[in-house]
Amino acid sequence: MVFRSEYENVSTVSLPIHDAVLGRAAERGDLPALIDGTGELTLTYGQIDAFHRLVAAGLAEAGVRKGDVLALHSPNTVLFPVAFYAATRAGAAVTTVHPLATPEEFAKQLRDSAARWIVTVSPLLASARAAAELAGGIEEIFVCDQAEAGDVRSLQAFLGSTGPVPEIDVDPDEDVAALPYSSGTTGVPKGVMLTHASIATNLAQLEPVIPMGPGDRILAVLPFFHIYGLTALMNAPLRQGATVVVLPRFELDTFLAAIQKHRINGLYVAPPIVLALAKHPAVADYDLSSLEYIVSAAAPLDAALAEACSARLGLPPVLQAYGMTELSPGTHVVPLDAPNPPPGTVGKLLPSTEMRILSLDDPSKDAAPGEEGEVAIRGPQVMKGYLGRPDATAAMIDADGWVHTGDIGRVDADGWLFVVDRVKELIKYKGFQVAPAELEALLLTHDGIADAAVIGVTDAEGTEMPKAFVVRQPAAPDLSAEDVMAHVAARVAPYKKVRSVEFIDTVPRAASGKILRRELRDRT
Protein backbone atom coordinates (compact mmCIF):
# COMPACT_ATOMS: atom_id res chain seq x y z
CA MET A 1 0.00 0.00 0.00
CA VAL A 2 1.28 3.43 -0.88
CA PHE A 3 0.58 6.10 1.74
CA ARG A 4 0.23 9.63 0.39
CA SER A 5 0.24 12.97 2.15
CA GLU A 6 -3.09 14.50 3.08
CA TYR A 7 -1.63 17.91 2.22
CA GLU A 8 -1.79 19.52 -1.19
CA ASN A 9 1.30 18.86 -3.29
CA VAL A 10 3.94 21.56 -3.53
CA SER A 11 5.78 22.48 -6.70
CA THR A 12 9.45 21.67 -7.01
CA VAL A 13 11.47 24.74 -6.01
CA SER A 14 13.92 24.92 -8.90
CA LEU A 15 16.06 27.72 -7.50
CA PRO A 16 19.63 27.92 -6.21
CA ILE A 17 19.46 27.45 -2.46
CA HIS A 18 20.78 30.97 -1.78
CA ASP A 19 17.92 32.44 -3.80
CA ALA A 20 15.34 30.04 -2.36
CA VAL A 21 16.29 31.14 1.17
CA LEU A 22 17.37 34.75 0.71
CA GLY A 23 15.12 35.77 -2.18
CA ARG A 24 13.21 38.20 0.04
CA ALA A 25 16.08 39.15 2.35
CA ALA A 26 16.73 42.56 0.80
CA GLU A 27 13.11 43.66 1.12
CA ARG A 28 13.10 42.61 4.78
CA GLY A 29 15.84 45.17 5.36
CA ASP A 30 16.42 45.92 9.05
CA LEU A 31 14.49 42.91 10.35
CA PRO A 32 16.87 40.94 12.61
CA ALA A 33 17.93 37.71 10.94
CA LEU A 34 20.77 36.32 13.06
CA ILE A 35 21.64 37.20 16.64
CA ASP A 36 24.75 36.01 18.47
CA GLY A 37 23.24 34.42 21.57
CA THR A 38 26.48 34.78 23.55
CA GLY A 39 27.43 38.28 22.41
CA GLU A 40 26.02 41.47 20.98
CA LEU A 41 26.30 41.01 17.21
CA THR A 42 23.10 41.09 15.17
CA LEU A 43 22.87 40.71 11.40
CA THR A 44 19.79 42.02 9.66
CA TYR A 45 18.26 40.45 6.58
CA GLY A 46 19.59 43.33 4.50
CA GLN A 47 23.09 42.70 5.82
CA ILE A 48 22.96 38.96 5.13
CA ASP A 49 21.84 39.66 1.60
CA ALA A 50 24.64 42.16 1.00
CA PHE A 51 27.36 40.30 2.94
CA HIS A 52 26.92 36.90 1.30
CA ARG A 53 27.13 38.52 -2.15
CA LEU A 54 30.34 40.36 -1.25
CA VAL A 55 31.90 37.21 0.20
CA ALA A 56 30.84 35.29 -2.92
CA ALA A 57 32.66 37.90 -5.00
CA GLY A 58 35.75 37.48 -2.82
CA LEU A 59 35.63 33.69 -3.10
CA ALA A 60 35.30 33.97 -6.86
CA GLU A 61 38.33 36.29 -7.00
CA ALA A 62 40.23 33.74 -4.91
CA GLY A 63 39.48 31.12 -7.55
CA VAL A 64 36.35 29.30 -6.38
CA ARG A 65 34.51 28.03 -9.44
CA LYS A 66 31.36 26.09 -10.27
CA GLY A 67 31.84 22.44 -9.44
CA ASP A 68 34.34 23.07 -6.63
CA VAL A 69 33.72 21.69 -3.16
CA LEU A 70 34.24 23.94 -0.15
CA ALA A 71 34.53 22.41 3.33
CA LEU A 72 32.77 24.46 6.00
CA HIS A 73 34.34 23.56 9.34
CA SER A 74 32.80 25.63 12.08
CA PRO A 75 30.58 25.61 15.15
CA ASN A 76 27.39 27.67 14.96
CA THR A 77 28.12 31.36 14.45
CA VAL A 78 26.17 34.16 12.81
CA LEU A 79 28.69 34.01 9.95
CA PHE A 80 28.12 30.32 9.19
CA PRO A 81 25.06 31.07 7.00
CA VAL A 82 26.92 33.89 5.26
CA ALA A 83 29.76 31.51 4.39
CA PHE A 84 27.35 28.80 3.24
CA TYR A 85 25.30 30.99 0.92
CA ALA A 86 28.39 32.81 -0.37
CA ALA A 87 29.95 29.49 -1.35
CA THR A 88 26.85 28.27 -3.18
CA ARG A 89 26.47 31.63 -4.95
CA ALA A 90 30.09 31.29 -6.08
CA GLY A 91 29.14 27.91 -7.57
CA ALA A 92 30.60 25.56 -4.96
CA ALA A 93 29.00 22.65 -3.18
CA VAL A 94 29.45 22.85 0.59
CA THR A 95 30.55 19.81 2.55
CA THR A 96 29.90 20.47 6.23
CA VAL A 97 32.46 19.11 8.71
CA HIS A 98 32.02 18.33 12.39
CA PRO A 99 34.04 20.92 14.34
CA LEU A 100 35.33 18.18 16.65
CA ALA A 101 36.53 15.91 13.86
CA THR A 102 40.13 14.81 14.28
CA PRO A 103 42.55 15.91 11.54
CA GLU A 104 42.53 12.33 10.24
CA GLU A 105 38.72 12.23 10.05
CA PHE A 106 38.64 15.69 8.49
CA ALA A 107 41.27 14.70 5.92
CA LYS A 108 39.31 11.59 4.96
CA GLN A 109 36.27 13.76 4.21
CA LEU A 110 38.39 16.26 2.29
CA ARG A 111 39.83 13.51 0.11
CA ASP A 112 36.54 11.75 -0.47
CA SER A 113 34.70 14.97 -1.37
CA ALA A 114 37.64 16.32 -3.43
CA ALA A 115 37.34 19.59 -1.53
CA ARG A 116 39.68 22.36 -2.70
CA TRP A 117 38.79 25.07 -0.17
CA ILE A 118 38.28 25.20 3.60
CA VAL A 119 36.43 27.79 5.66
CA THR A 120 37.00 27.41 9.39
CA VAL A 121 37.30 29.57 12.54
CA SER A 122 40.56 30.62 14.18
CA PRO A 123 40.27 28.26 17.22
CA LEU A 124 40.04 25.34 14.77
CA LEU A 125 42.69 26.59 12.34
CA ALA A 126 45.41 24.20 13.53
CA SER A 127 43.13 21.21 13.00
CA ALA A 128 42.12 22.47 9.55
CA ARG A 129 45.75 22.98 8.57
CA ALA A 130 46.68 19.49 9.74
CA ALA A 131 43.78 17.99 7.79
CA ALA A 132 44.71 19.96 4.67
CA GLU A 133 48.30 18.73 4.92
CA LEU A 134 47.13 15.12 5.25
CA ALA A 135 44.59 15.38 2.44
CA GLY A 136 46.49 17.45 -0.11
CA GLY A 137 44.87 19.40 -2.91
CA ILE A 138 43.64 22.33 -0.80
CA GLU A 139 43.96 25.68 -2.57
CA GLU A 140 43.40 27.95 0.44
CA ILE A 141 42.07 27.99 3.99
CA PHE A 142 39.93 30.94 5.09
CA VAL A 143 38.54 31.83 8.51
CA CYS A 144 35.17 33.39 9.30
CA ASP A 145 36.56 35.45 12.16
CA GLN A 146 39.95 37.15 12.45
CA ALA A 147 42.91 34.78 12.52
CA GLU A 148 45.97 35.68 14.56
CA ALA A 149 48.21 34.25 11.85
CA GLY A 150 48.66 36.83 9.12
CA ASP A 151 48.92 34.29 6.33
CA VAL A 152 45.24 33.28 6.53
CA ARG A 153 42.56 35.48 5.02
CA SER A 154 39.29 36.21 6.77
CA LEU A 155 35.99 36.16 4.95
CA GLN A 156 35.31 39.46 6.68
CA ALA A 157 38.00 41.04 4.50
CA PHE A 158 35.85 40.17 1.49
CA LEU A 159 33.18 42.57 2.73
CA GLY A 160 35.29 45.23 1.05
CA SER A 161 35.40 43.33 -2.22
CA THR A 162 34.97 45.41 -5.36
CA GLY A 163 34.83 42.44 -7.73
CA PRO A 164 31.65 41.41 -9.51
CA VAL A 165 29.16 39.22 -7.69
CA PRO A 166 29.33 35.88 -9.51
CA GLU A 167 26.42 35.02 -11.77
CA ILE A 168 26.63 31.24 -11.95
CA ASP A 169 24.38 29.19 -14.21
CA VAL A 170 23.04 26.74 -11.63
CA ASP A 171 20.93 23.75 -12.61
CA PRO A 172 18.98 23.33 -9.34
CA ASP A 173 17.76 19.85 -10.20
CA GLU A 174 21.22 18.47 -10.91
CA ASP A 175 23.84 20.63 -9.21
CA VAL A 176 24.83 19.71 -5.67
CA ALA A 177 24.41 22.44 -3.04
CA ALA A 178 25.28 20.53 0.14
CA LEU A 179 27.41 17.45 0.66
CA PRO A 180 26.93 16.34 4.27
CA TYR A 181 28.36 12.99 5.27
CA SER A 182 26.11 10.19 6.48
CA SER A 183 26.55 6.50 7.12
CA GLY A 184 23.14 5.74 5.63
CA THR A 185 21.83 2.44 6.93
CA THR A 186 25.26 0.85 7.45
CA GLY A 187 28.93 1.35 6.77
CA VAL A 188 31.34 4.23 6.80
CA PRO A 189 30.30 7.85 6.19
CA LYS A 190 29.46 8.72 2.60
CA GLY A 191 28.92 12.04 0.87
CA VAL A 192 25.19 12.67 0.43
CA MET A 193 24.58 14.69 -2.72
CA LEU A 194 21.73 17.09 -1.97
CA THR A 195 20.81 19.29 -4.89
CA HIS A 196 19.68 22.89 -4.66
CA ALA A 197 16.16 21.76 -5.59
CA SER A 198 15.96 18.84 -3.14
CA ILE A 199 16.84 21.09 -0.19
CA ALA A 200 14.73 24.03 -1.35
CA THR A 201 11.70 21.85 -2.10
CA ASN A 202 11.94 20.24 1.34
CA LEU A 203 11.72 23.75 2.83
CA ALA A 204 8.51 24.32 0.86
CA GLN A 205 7.19 20.97 2.07
CA LEU A 206 7.75 21.98 5.69
CA GLU A 207 6.04 25.37 5.49
CA PRO A 208 2.39 24.19 5.72
CA VAL A 209 3.05 22.16 8.87
CA ILE A 210 5.70 24.27 10.66
CA PRO A 211 4.97 27.85 9.60
CA MET A 212 7.29 30.63 10.72
CA GLY A 213 7.58 34.30 9.95
CA PRO A 214 8.67 37.75 11.14
CA GLY A 215 8.23 37.93 14.90
CA ASP A 216 9.15 34.29 15.47
CA ARG A 217 12.37 33.73 17.38
CA ILE A 218 14.11 30.38 16.95
CA LEU A 219 17.05 29.23 19.08
CA ALA A 220 19.79 27.52 17.03
CA VAL A 221 21.67 25.31 19.44
CA LEU A 222 21.78 22.17 17.32
CA PRO A 223 24.69 22.35 14.88
CA PHE A 224 24.29 23.90 11.44
CA PHE A 225 26.73 21.33 10.03
CA HIS A 226 24.13 18.60 10.72
CA ILE A 227 21.32 18.42 8.17
CA TYR A 228 18.69 18.88 10.91
CA GLY A 229 20.26 22.15 12.02
CA LEU A 230 21.00 23.24 8.47
CA THR A 231 17.33 22.86 7.54
CA ALA A 232 15.31 23.55 10.69
CA LEU A 233 17.51 26.22 12.26
CA MET A 234 19.11 27.96 9.30
CA ASN A 235 17.41 27.52 5.92
CA ALA A 236 13.78 27.25 7.04
CA PRO A 237 13.60 30.24 9.42
CA LEU A 238 15.67 32.50 7.16
CA ARG A 239 13.49 31.62 4.18
CA GLN A 240 10.38 32.59 6.14
CA GLY A 241 11.65 35.74 7.86
CA ALA A 242 12.08 34.51 11.42
CA THR A 243 14.90 35.63 13.72
CA VAL A 244 17.53 33.00 14.59
CA VAL A 245 19.42 33.30 17.87
CA VAL A 246 22.68 31.38 17.46
CA LEU A 247 24.52 29.41 20.14
CA PRO A 248 27.85 27.66 19.42
CA ARG A 249 27.11 24.64 21.60
CA PHE A 250 24.66 23.30 24.16
CA GLU A 251 25.36 24.42 27.71
CA LEU A 252 22.22 24.25 29.81
CA ASP A 253 22.44 27.58 31.64
CA THR A 254 23.50 29.46 28.49
CA PHE A 255 20.68 27.79 26.58
CA LEU A 256 18.06 28.65 29.22
CA ALA A 257 19.36 32.21 29.58
CA ALA A 258 19.09 32.71 25.82
CA ILE A 259 15.46 31.58 25.84
CA GLN A 260 14.71 34.04 28.63
CA LYS A 261 16.69 37.00 27.23
CA HIS A 262 15.62 36.71 23.60
CA ARG A 263 12.05 35.56 24.25
CA ILE A 264 12.43 32.45 22.13
CA ASN A 265 9.08 31.01 21.04
CA GLY A 266 10.19 27.96 19.01
CA LEU A 267 12.68 25.25 19.94
CA TYR A 268 14.04 22.56 17.62
CA VAL A 269 16.01 20.10 19.71
CA ALA A 270 17.10 16.48 20.14
CA PRO A 271 15.95 14.13 22.93
CA PRO A 272 18.83 14.87 25.36
CA ILE A 273 17.69 18.50 25.53
CA VAL A 274 14.09 17.39 26.10
CA LEU A 275 15.42 15.29 28.99
CA ALA A 276 17.17 18.32 30.50
CA LEU A 277 14.05 20.47 30.16
CA ALA A 278 11.98 17.76 31.83
CA LYS A 279 14.25 16.94 34.75
CA HIS A 280 17.09 19.38 35.42
CA PRO A 281 16.54 21.62 38.47
CA ALA A 282 18.13 24.64 36.75
CA VAL A 283 15.09 24.96 34.48
CA ALA A 284 13.13 26.41 37.40
CA ASP A 285 15.54 29.36 37.63
CA TYR A 286 14.59 30.84 34.25
CA ASP A 287 11.54 32.45 32.69
CA LEU A 288 10.63 30.22 29.75
CA SER A 289 7.13 31.59 29.36
CA SER A 290 7.83 32.83 25.82
CA LEU A 291 8.02 29.25 24.53
CA GLU A 292 5.09 28.20 22.37
CA TYR A 293 6.25 24.87 20.98
CA ILE A 294 9.08 22.33 20.98
CA VAL A 295 9.97 20.01 18.11
CA SER A 296 12.28 17.05 18.73
CA ALA A 297 14.02 15.06 16.01
CA ALA A 298 17.37 13.41 15.09
CA ALA A 299 16.73 10.42 17.39
CA PRO A 300 13.72 8.63 18.91
CA LEU A 301 11.96 10.42 21.77
CA ASP A 302 10.25 8.43 24.49
CA ALA A 303 6.55 9.38 24.77
CA ALA A 304 6.66 9.55 28.58
CA LEU A 305 9.68 11.87 28.48
CA ALA A 306 7.93 14.12 25.96
CA GLU A 307 4.89 14.33 28.23
CA ALA A 308 7.02 15.12 31.28
CA CYS A 309 8.71 17.97 29.41
CA SER A 310 5.50 19.54 28.12
CA ALA A 311 3.80 19.19 31.52
CA ARG A 312 6.67 20.87 33.35
CA LEU A 313 6.80 23.81 30.92
CA GLY A 314 3.03 24.12 30.54
CA LEU A 315 3.27 23.63 26.78
CA PRO A 316 1.35 21.61 24.22
CA PRO A 317 2.81 18.14 23.63
CA VAL A 318 6.40 18.06 22.41
CA LEU A 319 6.17 17.45 18.69
CA GLN A 320 8.34 15.03 16.77
CA ALA A 321 9.67 14.97 13.23
CA TYR A 322 11.27 12.27 11.15
CA GLY A 323 13.69 12.10 8.26
CA MET A 324 17.30 11.39 7.37
CA THR A 325 20.18 13.15 5.68
CA GLU A 326 19.45 11.31 2.43
CA LEU A 327 15.97 12.91 2.42
CA SER A 328 17.11 16.56 2.75
CA PRO A 329 16.03 15.60 5.56
CA GLY A 330 12.31 15.81 6.34
CA THR A 331 9.49 13.39 5.49
CA HIS A 332 7.21 13.52 8.57
CA VAL A 333 6.29 16.20 11.10
CA VAL A 334 3.61 16.52 13.74
CA PRO A 335 1.97 19.78 12.57
CA LEU A 336 1.97 22.74 14.93
CA ASP A 337 -1.81 22.93 14.72
CA ALA A 338 -2.44 19.21 15.31
CA PRO A 339 -5.16 19.09 18.02
CA ASN A 340 -4.44 15.72 19.63
CA PRO A 341 -1.50 13.89 18.10
CA PRO A 342 -1.12 10.39 19.56
CA PRO A 343 1.79 10.07 22.00
CA GLY A 344 4.98 8.82 20.41
CA THR A 345 4.15 9.58 16.79
CA VAL A 346 6.80 11.14 14.56
CA GLY A 347 4.12 12.80 12.46
CA LYS A 348 2.33 12.67 9.14
CA LEU A 349 3.71 12.72 5.64
CA LEU A 350 4.86 16.06 4.30
CA PRO A 351 3.32 17.33 1.06
CA SER A 352 4.40 15.57 -2.16
CA THR A 353 5.80 12.64 -0.16
CA GLU A 354 4.85 8.97 -0.47
CA MET A 355 5.57 6.09 1.91
CA ARG A 356 5.38 2.32 1.96
CA ILE A 357 5.77 -0.03 4.90
CA LEU A 358 7.69 -3.04 3.58
CA SER A 359 7.33 -6.54 4.97
CA LEU A 360 10.24 -7.55 7.18
CA ASP A 361 9.97 -11.11 5.88
CA ASP A 362 9.78 -10.17 2.20
CA PRO A 363 10.85 -6.58 1.42
CA SER A 364 9.44 -6.91 -2.09
CA LYS A 365 5.97 -6.86 -0.55
CA ASP A 366 4.10 -4.39 1.64
CA ALA A 367 3.34 -5.24 5.25
CA ALA A 368 -0.29 -5.82 6.14
CA PRO A 369 -2.20 -2.71 7.32
CA GLY A 370 -1.20 -1.81 10.86
CA GLU A 371 1.77 -4.19 10.88
CA GLU A 372 5.36 -3.16 11.45
CA GLY A 373 7.77 -3.04 8.52
CA GLU A 374 10.61 -1.08 6.99
CA VAL A 375 9.78 2.52 6.13
CA ALA A 376 10.36 3.40 2.46
CA ILE A 377 10.03 6.96 1.16
CA ARG A 378 9.67 8.57 -2.25
CA GLY A 379 9.49 12.28 -3.03
CA PRO A 380 11.27 15.33 -4.46
CA GLN A 381 13.47 15.62 -1.36
CA VAL A 382 15.34 12.37 -2.12
CA MET A 383 19.10 12.79 -2.52
CA LYS A 384 20.81 12.59 -5.88
CA GLY A 385 22.90 9.74 -4.52
CA TYR A 386 26.07 8.97 -2.61
CA LEU A 387 29.14 10.68 -4.04
CA GLY A 388 31.22 8.21 -6.03
CA ARG A 389 29.34 5.21 -4.65
CA PRO A 390 26.81 3.99 -7.22
CA ASP A 391 26.51 0.58 -5.55
CA ALA A 392 25.67 2.14 -2.17
CA THR A 393 23.18 4.43 -3.89
CA ALA A 394 21.49 1.50 -5.62
CA ALA A 395 21.30 -0.36 -2.31
CA MET A 396 19.58 2.63 -0.72
CA ILE A 397 17.26 3.75 -3.55
CA ASP A 398 15.51 1.04 -5.54
CA ALA A 399 14.65 1.13 -9.24
CA ASP A 400 11.26 2.72 -8.52
CA GLY A 401 12.77 5.57 -6.53
CA TRP A 402 11.94 4.29 -3.05
CA VAL A 403 14.48 5.09 -0.34
CA HIS A 404 14.82 2.14 2.03
CA THR A 405 15.39 3.91 5.33
CA GLY A 406 16.31 0.93 7.49
CA ASP A 407 13.81 2.08 10.12
CA ILE A 408 10.94 -0.11 11.28
CA GLY A 409 7.61 1.65 11.62
CA ARG A 410 3.87 1.25 11.62
CA VAL A 411 1.06 3.54 10.55
CA ASP A 412 -2.21 3.86 12.46
CA ALA A 413 -5.64 4.27 10.92
CA ASP A 414 -5.31 8.07 10.92
CA GLY A 415 -2.01 8.10 9.05
CA TRP A 416 0.32 8.78 11.98
CA LEU A 417 3.73 7.10 11.70
CA PHE A 418 5.37 5.45 14.69
CA VAL A 419 9.04 4.45 14.38
CA VAL A 420 9.52 1.46 16.63
CA ASP A 421 12.95 0.01 15.86
CA ARG A 422 15.76 -0.02 13.32
CA VAL A 423 16.78 -2.52 10.75
CA LYS A 424 19.97 -0.59 10.31
CA GLU A 425 22.96 -0.89 12.57
CA LEU A 426 23.70 2.80 12.83
CA ILE A 427 24.08 4.19 16.34
CA LYS A 428 22.60 7.62 17.13
CA TYR A 429 24.55 9.13 20.02
CA LYS A 430 22.72 12.31 21.06
CA GLY A 431 21.59 12.79 17.48
CA PHE A 432 25.03 12.24 15.93
CA GLN A 433 25.60 9.26 13.69
CA VAL A 434 28.17 6.68 14.72
CA ALA A 435 28.95 3.86 12.30
CA PRO A 436 29.82 0.56 14.04
CA ALA A 437 31.93 -0.49 11.04
CA GLU A 438 34.16 2.55 11.45
CA LEU A 439 34.77 1.85 15.15
CA GLU A 440 35.29 -1.87 14.52
CA ALA A 441 37.95 -1.12 11.93
CA LEU A 442 39.67 1.20 14.38
CA LEU A 443 39.53 -1.32 17.24
CA LEU A 444 41.24 -3.91 15.07
CA THR A 445 44.26 -1.63 14.68
CA HIS A 446 45.08 -2.29 18.36
CA ASP A 447 47.76 -4.97 18.70
CA GLY A 448 45.98 -6.48 21.68
CA ILE A 449 42.60 -6.95 19.98
CA ALA A 450 41.91 -10.09 17.96
CA ASP A 451 38.33 -9.27 16.97
CA ALA A 452 35.68 -6.74 17.85
CA ALA A 453 32.07 -5.77 17.28
CA VAL A 454 30.18 -2.61 18.21
CA ILE A 455 26.48 -2.14 18.90
CA GLY A 456 24.34 0.61 20.36
CA VAL A 457 23.08 0.18 23.89
CA THR A 458 20.70 2.44 25.78
CA ASP A 459 21.49 3.84 29.21
CA ALA A 460 19.02 4.63 32.00
CA GLU A 461 18.29 8.06 30.50
CA GLY A 462 17.44 6.64 27.08
CA THR A 463 20.68 7.71 25.34
CA GLU A 464 22.07 5.25 22.81
CA MET A 465 25.83 4.84 22.95
CA PRO A 466 28.51 2.64 21.40
CA LYS A 467 29.46 -0.53 23.25
CA ALA A 468 32.38 -2.67 22.09
CA PHE A 469 32.59 -6.43 22.40
CA VAL A 470 36.27 -7.29 22.28
CA VAL A 471 38.22 -10.52 21.85
CA ARG A 472 41.70 -10.21 23.38
CA GLN A 473 44.79 -11.45 21.60
CA PRO A 474 46.33 -14.40 23.48
CA ALA A 475 49.43 -12.27 24.03
CA ALA A 476 47.37 -9.50 25.68
CA PRO A 477 45.52 -11.14 28.58
CA ASP A 478 45.73 -7.94 30.65
CA LEU A 479 44.10 -5.66 28.07
CA SER A 480 41.56 -3.58 30.01
CA ALA A 481 38.35 -1.81 29.07
CA GLU A 482 40.10 1.48 29.83
CA ASP A 483 42.87 0.59 27.36
CA VAL A 484 40.30 -0.12 24.66
CA MET A 485 38.31 3.07 25.25
CA ALA A 486 41.48 5.19 25.35
CA HIS A 487 42.64 3.70 22.04
CA VAL A 488 39.43 4.78 20.34
CA ALA A 489 39.10 8.13 22.12
CA ALA A 490 42.52 9.23 20.91
CA ARG A 491 41.52 8.73 17.28
CA VAL A 492 37.92 9.90 16.90
CA ALA A 493 35.70 12.88 17.64
CA PRO A 494 34.27 12.79 21.18
CA TYR A 495 30.76 11.75 20.11
CA LYS A 496 32.16 8.58 18.49
CA LYS A 497 33.92 7.30 21.61
CA VAL A 498 33.24 3.77 22.84
CA ARG A 499 31.44 4.18 26.15
CA SER A 500 31.59 0.61 27.49
CA VAL A 501 33.50 -2.59 26.76
CA GLU A 502 32.72 -6.25 27.31
CA PHE A 503 35.33 -8.94 26.70
CA ILE A 504 34.10 -12.08 24.98
CA ASP A 505 35.67 -15.29 23.65
CA THR A 506 34.47 -14.91 20.08
CA VAL A 507 32.39 -12.49 18.00
CA PRO A 508 29.27 -14.29 16.73
CA ARG A 509 29.20 -14.32 12.94
CA ALA A 510 27.14 -15.82 10.16
CA ALA A 511 28.75 -18.10 7.59
CA SER A 512 29.12 -15.06 5.36
CA GLY A 513 31.21 -13.38 8.02
CA LYS A 514 28.54 -10.84 8.96
CA ILE A 515 28.44 -10.02 12.64
CA LEU A 516 25.31 -11.35 14.35
CA ARG A 517 24.54 -8.21 16.30
CA ARG A 518 21.23 -9.50 17.57
CA GLU A 519 23.11 -12.13 19.58
CA LEU A 520 25.22 -9.39 21.10
CA ARG A 521 22.14 -7.34 21.93
CA ASP A 522 20.67 -10.36 23.67
CA ARG A 523 23.66 -10.33 26.04
CA THR A 524 22.99 -6.78 27.24
Domain tally for the chain?
2
Structural domain includes residue 9: no
**Which CATH number do you get for residue 149?**
3.40.50.980
Structural domain includes residue 79: yes
The boundaries of the domain holding residue 71 are 45-169
Instruction: Specify which residues 332 forms β-bridges with.
Output: 322, 349
What is the reported pLDDT for 298? 85
Structural domain includes residue 11: no
Could you tell me if 353 and 328 are in contact, meaning their C-beta atoms sit under 8 angstroms apart? no
> By three-state DSSP, how is residue 420 classified?
strand
Domain boundary among 169, 195, 216: 169
Could you tell me if 348 and 417 are in contact, meaning their C-beta atoms sit under 8 angstroms apart? yes
Could you tell me if 205 and 352 are in contact, meaning their C-beta atoms sit under 8 angstroms apart? yes
How many whole angstroms separate alpha carbon 377 and alpha carbon 325? Answer: 13
What is the reported pLDDT for 425? 78
Domain boundary among 139, 169, 199: 169
Please state whether the predicted TM-score (pTM) of the whole model is above 0.75. Answer: yes
Structural domain includes residue 272: no
Q: How far is CA 414 from CA 340, 347, 373, 376, 419, in A?
A: 12, 11, 17, 18, 15
What is the reported pLDDT for 428? 85
Residues whose CB is less than 8 angstroms from the CB of residue 357 and which lie 6 or more positions away in sequence, other chains included: 1, 3, 366, 367, 371, 372, 373, 374, 375, 376, 409, 410, 411
What is the reported pLDDT for 513? 66
**Which CATH number do you get for residue 450?**
3.30.300.30
How many whole angstroms separate alpha carbon 498 and alpha carbon 487? Answer: 9
Q: Per residue of the chain (524 residues), what is the pLDDT tens digit? A: 999 999 999 999 999 999 999 999 999 999 999 999 999 999 999 999 999 999 999 999 999 999 999 999 999 999 999 999 999 999 999 999 999 999 999 999 999 999 999 999 999 999 999 999 999 999 999 999 987 657 899 999 999 989 999 999 999 999 999 999 987 666 788 999 999 999 999 999 999 999 999 999 999 999 999 999 999 999 999 999 999 999 999 999 999 999 999 999 999 998 889 989 998 999 999 999 999 999 999 888 888 889 999 999 999 999 999 999 999 999 999 999 999 999 999 999 999 999 999 998 888 999 999 999 999 999 999 999 999 999 999 999 999 999 999 998 999 999 999 998 777 777 889 888 788 888 998 998 999 999 999 999 998 888 899 999 999 999 999 999 999 999 999 999 999 999 999 999 999 986 556 688 889 988 87
What is the reported pLDDT for 434? 87
Question: Using N-to-C axis directions, what is the helix angle for 303-313 and 271-279, rounded to 10°?
Answer: 50
Domain boundary among 169, 191, 219: 169
> By three-state DSSP, how is residue 158 classified?
helix
How many whole angstroms separate alpha carbon 231 and alpha carbon 218? Answer: 12
Structural domain includes residue 133: yes
Residue 501 has, within 13 A of its CA and on its CB side, a CA count of: 23
Structural domain includes residue 433: yes
Percent helix, percent strand, percent coil in the chain, to nearest 5: 30, 25, 45
What is the reported pLDDT for 489? 97
